[in-house]
């Protein structure tokens, strides 16, 4: 047993935006067809065509934002194929999906998903095979309140009220599958699309705030990602500036090297390698934030403008993140992969990074929600299992809207990682503390000092007998959170035992 002491203090940091817990679904593998969407006529229990055993637990997570239709799929998606009657069947070759799809899941179904789960929609525009006109018409279809041919089409398709889509991704990974563009190529295309996007009025007469999201760099290319952001802002800073609000960085924790390493079969070296790989995202966030600020600083003051021109700002989003194991490339359903305790621990560490950097990072979407990569749900025929990763999201919900607390941890290190990594936030007199035990084989005893009188509200730990354990259709509840209440000591501090390789969230009432 190792001993770790953790002390929390007063609120120091920013409010943890709920948007850091957002989701991403794409027409890839069985994420949508056969996964989330089975259609109303399916014998699989469904709510309006959405698989019930996904929709209900997904709604319970209250995903703040869901991004759709891709990813790379967005680069060839024509939104009109997915609305109304007589939808064309297409061949989906995205990442080896390689099958026909009937377009029964389109814009109206996506908006319904958002309504049923309480999520805000993020639509990604097609900049590769689509046109500016098509993008504008999609926005008109979604958001126009006044009667026009396009808004009447939306009404015919069931939605009287506009969808008020605010988040528009203008391109996806344009440096690769999205067009193999240079920052300069992309900047000029971005200028055209962003300038053409229409304005909308909301029912209260105010104008609909819209967020235009630049395609950000490949977070896994240390040199290219620096040049991408630097050169893109340099190109956007020339002459007049287009509207821009956010930039979408993608970062995957690649685990495709050692052949013997499998999601459910790895050794100590594989455990620490993947955990450390996930933590690299923090330095990428800091680097990209710096580059964004430097980039914005080059924007010239507009000349003789009639309108007051506020200082330009640009938020950092992460539209795709997660572990990407080599088995994803071999999977029958494209990019399907299992999720073990190792993935749950990396998800917890990643969310901790996002929370810690909440003043620099505004939104992050897990890639992807169902049956693809770092999934929350895995389906197999009629069965759906919730992955350990799902439970991390559920356990971390109390941090949403909380203020980061100062925290010091005195933890021994193993293989270069603190045995326990912790983060705490406070909201409405409730302090939530996560304790991630990264140690491969030794449990840790944590002595926790909240620095203020407190009562225990709850304590849960996600762990399993073996770190390679996953939930499967035969054993769907192998890895689930279980109650783990800390002991209150006579000196007012708390003590809790963390199993090796585990995620715990403790909540305390302090007022």
Just list the catalytic residues. Answer: 173, 320
Q: Which of 20, 55, 72, 392 binds ligand AHR (CB under 6 A)?
A: 72
Among 103, 126, 172, 379, binds ligand AHR (CB under 6 A): 172
Pairing label, strands 211-218, 99-101:
unpaired
Q: Is 109 in the site for ligand AHR (CB under 6 A)?
A: no
Contact segment (CB under 6 A) with ligand AHR among 70-78, 238-246, 307-315, 493-501 equals 70-78
CA dihedral 282, 287, 291, 294 (to 10 degrees): 110
Minimum distance from residue 360 beta carbon to ligand AHR (Å): 22
Q: Where are the alpha helices (DSSP H) in 175-239?
A: 183-196, 222-236
Site for ligand AHR in 316-335 (CB under 6 A): 320
Residues 6+ apart with CB under 8 A from 313: 245, 296
Residue with tokens 């240390």: 222
Q: Which is nearer to ligand AHR, 82 or 418 (CB)?
A: 82
Q: Is residue 30 a contact residue for ligand AHR (CB under 6 A)?
A: no
Report the residue closest to ligand AHR, judged by CB: 71
Q: Are 450 and 510 in contact (CB under 8 A)?
A: yes
With binding defined as CB under 6 A, does residue 71 bind ligand AHR? Answer: yes
Least distance from ligand AHR to the Cβ atom of residue 322, Å:
8
Q: How far is the CB of 253 from ligand AHR (least distance, A)?
A: 13
Rounded to an integer, what distance in angstroms lies between the CA atom of residue 53 and that of residue 38?
Answer: 11
Q: At its nearest, how many Å lie between ligand AHR and the CB of residue 339?
A: 15
Region of 67-75, 114-122, 235-243, 391-399 interacting with ligand AHR (CB under 6 A): 67-75
Asked if 75 touches ligand AHR (CB under 6 A), the answer is: no
Q: What is the total count of residues that contact ligand AHR (CB under 6 A)?
A: 11
The full DSSP string for 25-38 is --SSTTSTBTTTB-
Contact (Cβ atoms closer than 8 angstroms) between residue 203 and residue 145: yes
Are 72 and 93 in contact, with CB atoms under 8 Å apart? no
Q: Determine the Cα–Cα distance for residues 239 and 241; give it in Å rounded to an integer.
A: 7
Residue closer to ligand AHR, measured from CB, 348 or 367 = 367
Helix H or strand E encompassing 453: none
Q: Which residues 353-382 are close enough to bind ligand AHR by CB under 6 A?
A: 367-368, 373
Residue closer to ligand AHR by CB (options 172, 468) is 172
Reading the block at residue 20, the tokens are 């850091």
Member of 70, 216, 398, 459 binding ligand AHR (CB under 6 A):
70
Q: What are the φ and ψ backbone dihedral angles of 442, each rounded to 5 degrees?
A: -120, 125
173 binds ligand AHR (CB under 6 A): yes
- d(C-alpha 204, C-alpha 209), whole Å: 13
- Nearest to residue 382, comparing CAs of 35, 50, 56? 35
| Interface residue list for ligand AHR (CB under 6 A) | 26, 28, 70-72, 172-173, 320, 367-368, 373
């Amino acid at each position: 047993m190792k001993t770790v002491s953790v002390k929390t203090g007063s609120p120091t940091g920013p409010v943890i935006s709920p948007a850091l817990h957002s989701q991403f679904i794409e027409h890839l593998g069985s994420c949508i067809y056969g996964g989330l969407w089975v259609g109303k006529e399916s014998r699989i229990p469904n709510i309006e065509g959405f698989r019930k055993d996904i929709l209900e637990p997904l709604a319970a997570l209250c995903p703040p934002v869901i991004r759709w239709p891709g990813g790379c799929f967005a680069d060839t998606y024509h939104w009109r194929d997915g609305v109304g009657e007589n939808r064309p069947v297409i061949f989906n070759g995205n990442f080896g999906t390689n099958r026909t799809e009937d377009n029964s899941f389109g814009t109206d179904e996506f908006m319904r998903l958002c309504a049923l789960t309480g999520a805000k929609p993020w639509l990604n525009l097609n900049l590769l095979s689509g046109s500016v006109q098509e993008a504008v018409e999609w926005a008109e279809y979604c958001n126009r309140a006044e009667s026009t041919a396009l808004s009447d089409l939306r009404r015919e398709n069931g939605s009287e009220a506009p969808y008020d889509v605010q988040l528009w991704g203008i391109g996806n990974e344009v440096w690769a599958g999205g067009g193999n563009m240079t920052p300069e190529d992309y900047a000029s295309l971005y200028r055209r699309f962003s300038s053409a996007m229409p304005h909308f009025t909301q029912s209260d007469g105010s104008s609909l705030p819209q967020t235009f999201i630049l395609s950000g760099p490949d977070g896994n290319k240390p040199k290219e990602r620096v040049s991408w952001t630097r050169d893109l802002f340099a190109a956007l800073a020339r002459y007049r500036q287009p509207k821009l609000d956010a930039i979408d960085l993608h970062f995957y924790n690649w685990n495709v090297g050692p052949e013997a390493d499998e999601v459910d079969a790895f050794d100590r070296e594989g455990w620490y390698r993947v955990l450390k790989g996930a933590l690299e995202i923090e330095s990428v966030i800091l680097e990209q934030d710096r580059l964004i600020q430097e980039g914005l600083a080059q924007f010239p003051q507009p000349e003789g403008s009639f309108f007051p021109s506020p200082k330009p700002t640009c938020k950092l989003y992460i539209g795709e993140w997660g572990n990407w194991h080599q088995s994803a490339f071999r999977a029958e359903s494209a990019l399907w992969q299992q999720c073990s305790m190792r993935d749950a621990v990396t998800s917890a560490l990643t969310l901790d990074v996002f929370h810690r950097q909440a003043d620099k990072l505004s939104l992050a979407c897990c890639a992807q929600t169902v049956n693809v990569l770092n999934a929350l749900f895995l389906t197999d025929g009629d069965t759906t299992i919730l992955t350990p990763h799902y439970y991390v999201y559920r356990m971390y919900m109390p941090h949403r809207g909380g203020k980061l607390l100062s925290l010091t941890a005195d933890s021994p290190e193993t293989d270069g990682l603190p045995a326990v990594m912790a983060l705490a936030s406070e909201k409405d007199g409730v302090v939530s503390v996560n304790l991630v035990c990264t140690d491969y084989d030794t449990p840790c005893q944590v002595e926790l000092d909240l620095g203020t009188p407190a009562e225990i509200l709850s304590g849960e730990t996600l762990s399993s007998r073996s770190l390679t354990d996953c939930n499967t259709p035969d054993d769907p509840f192998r890895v689930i959170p279980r109650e783990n209440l800390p002991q209150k000591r006579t000196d007012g501090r708390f003590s809790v035992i963390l199993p090796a390789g585990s995620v715990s969230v403790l909540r305390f009432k302090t007022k």
